[in-house]
Structure 1
Amino acid sequence: MTLYEKLAKDAVASSDIDKSLFDTFSVKRGLRNADFSGVLVGLTTIGDVEGYDKVDGKLVPKDGKLFYRGVELKDLAKGFQSKQRHGFEETAYLLLSGSLPNTEELKAFTKELEEERHLPPFFSKNMILSLRGRDIMNMLARSVLGLYTADDNAEDLSPENLLKQAVSLIAKFPVIVAYSYFGMRHSFQKKSLVIRHPQPGLSTAENFLYMLKGDNYSKLEADLLDLSLVIHAEHGGGNNSSFTTRVVSSAQTDTYSAIAAALGSLKGGLHGGANLKVMDMMENIKANVQNWRDEKEIKAYLLKILNKEAFDNTGKIYGIGHAIYTNSDPRAVLLKEKAEALAIEKGRLDEFHLYAAIERLAPQVFYDFKGANAKVICANVDFYSGFVYDCLQIPKEIYTPIFAVSRIAGWCAHRIEEVTFSSKRIIRPAYKNVCDRIDYIELDNR
């Protein structure tokens, strides 16, 4: 047995905690209550997620709503879409400042983002292209820490400086992701190294598509990516990466360290990579369901997935169900509305209809499988986002980094609130130690 095999064996054995002790000490595993609602650990004015009502201590399902600084996401999206403009920039302004910008404020904010997109001298070569990496999320986190060295006021925690850092990171994230992707592709896939500089006058979504594809994108493609950035920008303080931002920020550390920690959280397979699992599952379904219009055949295969007899044998229908949303996920509703038009443009309408059929049928299959006490579930945003990205010909390697390109706005808003307006107490929950006390044994007697 090697050293690490022995260490691993001992570590696993010593970490085997009697699960009944969690009930004995009323431990809120995953910071969840017994009814799976989140444990209340703080207050915020940034985002609010509504998926159910609590009536007499019981969760009552309802259509989901998401609010950014009190503005319902649905209204925000309809507002900029009705004027045929992109909305990520004003969404970021709203999250950071707490109010919607007027015309002049939005113009000034957009101009500042445009100027901040440029990376420091030699940063692209030394930090992104020379330090090779296979994972874009790790390259992004490393680059964020590298930006600390280029900031003369990196440790300044004043509100004005925190906002300057926030705007800089929001502007630079799409550039770093695009350059990291092409650097990875060049180093490990032996493909051409393509570096396109951000262009003035383009929105965040347009610039990102330009850096990835040049001018080879349609208005509808840019509109869909912009909507995706808007709907992923914020999701309350309790989601894992935003909570990570607040935990680390409560220690009064610098912005770059806090955001790097949030990126580490988002990279996790249980957080940011869910749409990749949906895509893998859908490929499996498309290969095994012969008639995509036959609801009986679709339901039968979904039941096989739940029975751990198909796909990855985990018993999960990926993209269906959410920790908070019950009847509907407002992000999925908004994305689906636009996704159909994109599917028509790309000649993939039959595939879209298969997605829609699974969205409709999966909850009923789940209820039949679980019984009368089954949780009310719906399609979440990850169910359609992977399909949209695939239609946009966005590489799978940057699905989760796109999430970060969007969520950096929410992270920065939560950081500013935590550093500036919180109780200024370091977040420190308790862990009950359940290890037996043992006497120290001299080395020669072990």
Structure 2
Amino acid sequence: MNSELQKIFQDSISENKIDNELYTKYDVKKGLRNEDGTGVLIGLTRIADVVGYKLVNGRKADDQGELYYRGIPITQLCRNLDQNEICGYEETCFLILFGHLPTQQELSLFTSQLRSRYTLPEGFLATNILRYPSMNIMNQIQKALLMLYGEDPKADDISVLNTLDQGLSILAKMPAILCYSMAAKAHFFENKSLIVHPVRPEFSIAENILSLLRPDQQFTHQEAKILDLMMVLHADHGSGNNSTFANIVVASTGTDIYSAMAASVGSLKGPRHGGANISARRMMDAILAEIGLEASDEQLTALLEKIMDKQFFDGKGLIYGMGHAVYTLSDPRSEILKKQIEILAEEKNCKERFVFYQRTEELAKQVIYRRKDIHVSSNIDFYSGLVYSMLDIPEDCYSPLFAASRMVGWLAHNIENKLYCDRIVRPAGKYVGTLADYIPIDQRKSR
């Protein structure tokens, strides 16, 4: 930007400042947050519920966390998923979309429908992904979603049944879209060999992702099982999270599903939403590089203190992966994941690294409590980066995997709002500027 234009912009910031006191005066909720940190209610849902605290005499109090899919605790769901078959995510998708657990016949019908939609349209890979690769996979997914619009003769049909049909097709194609986008990036920007595998209709979504990502297409049962679990844990998180709300807002205008999904992916790309697992893993890598696996509790505590003092890592004073906007004493997704990581860590010879993560979590809780007098727990982002690294999944695939998993949640809330709300989302903003008269251009003075 031109330096003179920059100065005009900088001057305009000081002239148009909005004081914090005005937010209090007009009872405006910054970020749609109440004073106690709870979210402002923006809708009703039967799909998922996030419980992280309780109200005691009208005041927020810490509590054990729980996530419910259609009223079923995520802890129960994950504990009872079939340990032999790799289709927990598909079963969860059915539950989230249709409101009940499927029978074996219903699950077979649903999975066969998804598998029949795995393949991208003819020529789509060459024309839309390989021809126009992107440095950022999330942007590439957005582009691919918008290009799928052009392949759909009923793209603008926003009826509920057609939205469901379109959404299932998008969900099924996500493994191909994200893995082919990764291959294109590796080839065109990193000078690596272009290796593109066909999708396997006999594989589940989690199995296909591992098969498509790896040059040799090989993976173990345990690797596929934990990726399947990761997708279950990321499938939905209520209607108030940023990317789901973005989908609801965009869809409420009456636009197509492809535009709404692209908006959600754009939301999830932001580091405050979908990129936290990358920050957590980078932080842990920096800690390990600094003091090593054999560091004492005293050394580790001292380094965590330095992080909070903005003297180590990125200088922001945050211990990434610790704490959550809703959960207080525990994040059930993190607790579930920890139990499964130990099995994978044994298989991958990463047991010491996992133990180091556990030590860091416990010491970080103590450090944060001493500093801020609040109880926090690890959230799913603290351990998900570790899981992905043990699965040899590249860092720039972390958020795309989150998007692939959350696609079903976005779809379910999109449909629910079409059915029961069906009004454009239009909140209000309060004007706090001054009034002025128009000045002809020849009478204006430089500021």
**TM-score bracket relative to the smaller structure:** over 0.9
Distance 1:69 1:4 in 2: 53
Q: Say if 1:141 and 1:307 are closer, same or farther in 2 by CA, change over 3 A.
A: same
Deviations 1:166-192 (A, max 9, x none): 110110111100000111111111111
1:351 alignment counterpart: 353
Q: Say if 1:81 and 1:103 are closer, same or farther in 2 by CA, change over 3 A.
A: closer
Distance 1:164 1:352 in 2: 41
What SS does structure 1 have at the residue aligned with 2:66? strand
Distance 2:301 2:292 in 1: 12
2:62 alignment counterpart: 61
What SS does structure 1 have at the residue aligned with 2:54? strand
Alignment map for 1:50-199 (pairs within 5 Å): 50-82=51-83, 84-199=85-200
Distance 2:357 2:293 in 1: 13
Distance 2:343 2:238 in 1: 30
What SS does structure 2 have at the residue aligned with 1:116? coil
1:378 alignment counterpart: 377
User: Bigger CA drift: 2-11 or 353-362?
Assistant: 2-11
**What TM-score, normalized to structure 1?**
0.96
Identify unmatched segments of 5+ residues in structure 1.
Answer: none
Distance 2:186 2:5 in 1: 33
Distance 1:355 1:168 in 2: 38
Distance 1:350 1:66 in 2: 30
Distance 1:398 1:419 in 2: 31
Identify unmatched segments of 5+ residues in structure 2.
Answer: none
Deviations 1:197-235 (A, max 9, x none): 111211110011000114321111101100000000000
2:426 alignment counterpart: 428
Q: Which amino acid aligns with 1:43?
A: L
What SS does structure 1 have at the residue aligned with 2:52? strand
Distance 1:290 1:177 in 2: 34
Q: Say if 1:369 and 1:260 are closer, same or farther in 2 by CA, change over 3 A.
A: same
The alpha carbon displacement at 1:76 in A equals 1.1
Deviations 1:223-278 (A, max 9, x none): 11000000000000000000101111111111011111111100011000001101
1:313 alignment counterpart: 315
Distance 1:112 1:6 in 2: 58
1:242 alignment counterpart: 244
Distance 1:112 1:197 in 2: 18
Distance 1:58 1:306 in 2: 28
Q: Which amino acid aligns with 2:120?
A: L
Distance 1:148 1:183 in 2: 21
1:416 alignment counterpart: 415
Deviations 1:88-126 (A, max 9, x none): 001111111111111111111111111111111111111
User: Bigger CA drift: 407-416 or 300-309?
Assistant: 300-309
Distance 1:198 1:84 in 2: 19
What SS does structure 1 have at the residue aligned with 2:81? helix
Q: Give me the CA root mean square deviation.
A: 1.4
**What TM-score, normalized to structure 2?**
0.96
Task: Indicate yes or no: 2:400 matched with 1:392.
Answer: no
What SS does structure 2 have at the residue aligned with 1:229? helix
Assess if the C-alpha contact under 8 Å between 1:47 and 1:67 holds in 2.
yes
The alpha carbon displacement at 1:3 in A equals 5.7
What SS does structure 1 have at the residue aligned with 2:265? helix
Distance 1:251 1:291 in 2: 52
What SS does structure 1 have at the residue aligned with 2:120? coil
The alpha carbon displacement at 1:437 in A equals 1.3
2:211 alignment counterpart: 210
The alpha carbon displacement at 1:9 in A equals 2.3
The alpha carbon displacement at 1:6 in A equals 4.1
Distance 2:13 2:207 in 1: 48
Distance 2:192 2:371 in 1: 47
Of 261, 265, 268, the residue aligned with 1:266 is: 268
The alpha carbon displacement at 1:364 in A equals 1.1
1:31 alignment counterpart: 32
1:201 alignment counterpart: 202
What SS does structure 2 have at the residue aligned with 1:67? strand
Q: Which amino acid aligns with 2:103?
A: N
2:278 alignment counterpart: 276
Distance 1:249 1:11 in 2: 34
Q: Say if 1:304 and 1:81 are closer, same or farther in 2 by CA, change over 3 A.
A: farther
Assess if the C-alpha contact under 8 Å between 1:303 and 1:369 holds in 2.
no
Assess if the C-alpha contact under 8 Å between 2:118 and 2:201 holds in 1.
no
1:407 alignment counterpart: 406
User: Bigger CA drift: 78-87 or 427-436?
Assistant: 78-87
Deviations 1:117-164 (A, max 9, x none): 111111111111101211000000011011111111112122211110
